[in-house]
Each structure stands twice: as C-alpha cells, then as structure tokens.
Amino acid sequence: MALHLLEDWCKGMNINPRNCILVTGVPEPFDEGAIEPILRVSTEYLSKCKMRGRMFVREEGAFAVLCELPSAVEPLQVPGTIAVEDGEWTVITTGSQPSPVPASDVAFLKKMSAFLGKEGKTLADMPGLLGLDPGVPQRESAPSPDEWVKALGQALEKVMPPHPESSPYRKLRLFSGGPTPIPGEEAFEPWLEHTTEMLQEWAVPDAEKRRRLVECLRGPALDVIRTLKLSNPGVKVKDCLEALDHAFGRTEGSDDVYCKFLNARQQKGEKVSAYIQRLEKLLQRAIMRGAVAVGQMDRTRLAQIVRGIQYQNPILLHLRLRERQDNPPSYSQLIKEVREEEERQAAGEVWEEEVTILIANETRRD
C-alpha cells in the first residue's frame, strides 16, 4: 500500500520515485512547516531532502509526506523509522519492500553493511573500494539488491584474504629428527631457519600454519608435536618450533644466543642487506630461546643494526635508521628499503664511472 502510494504520487508529479522517500504516520495536527526540518536533522543522509507535498491517508488516520533527495536513494542509508516527540514516523523507499532476493543474500547484505560500518566505510565508499572512477556521474536509478550483492562480493574479494584452503602454497621441507634421515631430509638448523621464514611469510591463521607444520613432520619430530597438542590442543606455532628446537637444536642457553646476536657486526665488504639477513637468523633464535620478546622484535632488530653497521654508512644516513628507533619498521619493510637504496647507490656509481669529460682548447695558445 505505502509503496504503491509512493510510486503513484511520484508518477503524478512526474518525478523519479527512486529519488524519493515517503514518510507515513505524521499526526494530523502536526505543523506542516516543521516536518522538513525534523527529517533533515534526523540523519545526515536526509540533510538535503526537500518536502514535495503531504496527503491524508484515511486508513491510517494520519498524513503521508513525500520528500525528494538530490540523487537516487540508497535504502540501507535511510532509517526505517524516525523518532519524534509523540511517537515515530515510518520511512518508505522503493527498496524498502520485500524483493525476490534469496534470504541468504539479504543476510549477506546485513553482514556487509555491519562490516563496512566497523571499518569506517559506508555504501557511498563502494565505488572507490571497487576501483571505479569517482568522477563518473551518479546513475539516475538506485542499484537493485542483486547489484548490491554483486558489488559487495567484489569488495570482499579486495579486502578479505583468500581462504587458506583455496590458495596454493609451497609445502615445507620434511624433517623427522630420527637417527636415520629420510630421503631429502636436511639437518635441523637449516630446516628450522627455512621453516621459520616460510611460516612468517604466510598470511594465514595460526591454526593453518600449525597444520602445515605438522604436515611436513615425521617420526620423532611428529611425536614431539603430538605430545604437545595432547596438553594444549590450540598450541601456537611459535611454541611448536620452540619445542622442536629444544628437542633437536643445539643446547644453547638464552644468554648465549642473545650474546651472539649483540656481537654480530657488519663485516668488511658485506652488504647491509646481507648483514640484516644474517642478523635476522640470530634474532629469530633469540626469540625462540625467550631472550627477546616478540613484541620487541622490530625495536631490538633496528637497535642492533644501528650498532652493527659500519660507522657513517650512507644507507644508515639516507634511511635515517637512527631517528626511526622509536617507530621501527618491520623486517620486510626494512629489507625492502635497504635493497632499493643499495640498487640506487649502485646505479649512481655506474653512472659516475661511465661519464666522459671532453675539454676543448678554444684559445690560440697550446
């Protein structure tokens, strides 16, 4: 009934119903001049609405008010009711009525609307999220629920990581820890180093990392993790690696490992990037031994780099590493910046070597 009234009223006034809202339940004695200001202050989205007329609805014993917005109405942006002093008014849009959209899609729309709200976004931000040109004029008609489902699905693909089971990954190397190595098995130290690096790179939940770790273990090494999971089914990957290190790694104390880390210095002729990579291995071992807290990893790394790099190294100066110790970069960001700076400096040196200076004598003297 209300939707038909909205459509018929707009057709009679020759205006687009998708740009309009119908407000019902307005009491008869209510001041007509106060209706539009109340709607405008009720929500920012209606701040530019313009009242086009009102009509008494006999069945409801109240007035219905037609208002127009500058552009197509987004149904999810419009409140279903507006609270007033003597009760509440109902707001109707062309997208307010039930549609043939499946219930699963409706639930998806609600969840996505809540998701965008938590991220500080609204449906008005959708063109930017989808990579569309914000300068394109707004379409005359509001998108249908089916179109919103498709658009929000595309946005999810951009902002949400893929499910770990749906993306291929390079499996970890095998390790058993048994007295007789299995074919292709390497020593524990290089295996641990490679495995730690791979697990850090994977942007998947910790449970998935643990599953992939268990997948590559055999024999005594697998028994270590099985025993650990009996006492703590949700054990973290960090604790699994630490248990394996205690069982098969070198018997070094936390103080010894941390001392090696602090004594690591850039060697003569060694690139800064190579030094950082070598230092990272020592840092990871110190973390596994409990000598360095994970939360202090970036700060500890940068502090040692500043101490260990050769004095007045141009990379240290150009990247302002000393000044960034209060807000240190992550390992991936740091190594990226260092390698880019090394390439830039190397290109500058080549350029200097290839420059030829020509001198011409324009005088009459020798």
Determine the CATH number of domain 165-249.
1.10.1200
This prediction has a pTM of 0.40
Mean pLDDT, residues 184-213 taken together = 86
Give tens-digit pLDDT for 324-356. Answer: 999 999 988 999 999 999 998 888 765 555 566
Same fold, 1-93 and 165-249: no
Token pair of 216 as six digits:
């590559």
The pLDDT value recorded for residue 99 is: 45
Top CATH class of 1-93 equals: alpha beta
Domain layout of the chain by residue ranges = 1-93, 105-159, 165-249, 254-335
Neighbours of 34 (CB within 10 A): 10
The pLDDT value recorded for residue 336 is: 92
Rounded Cα gap, residues 264 and 267, in angstroms: 9
Give tens-digit pLDDT for 254-290. Answer: 788 889 899 999 998 899 999 998 998 888 888 877 8
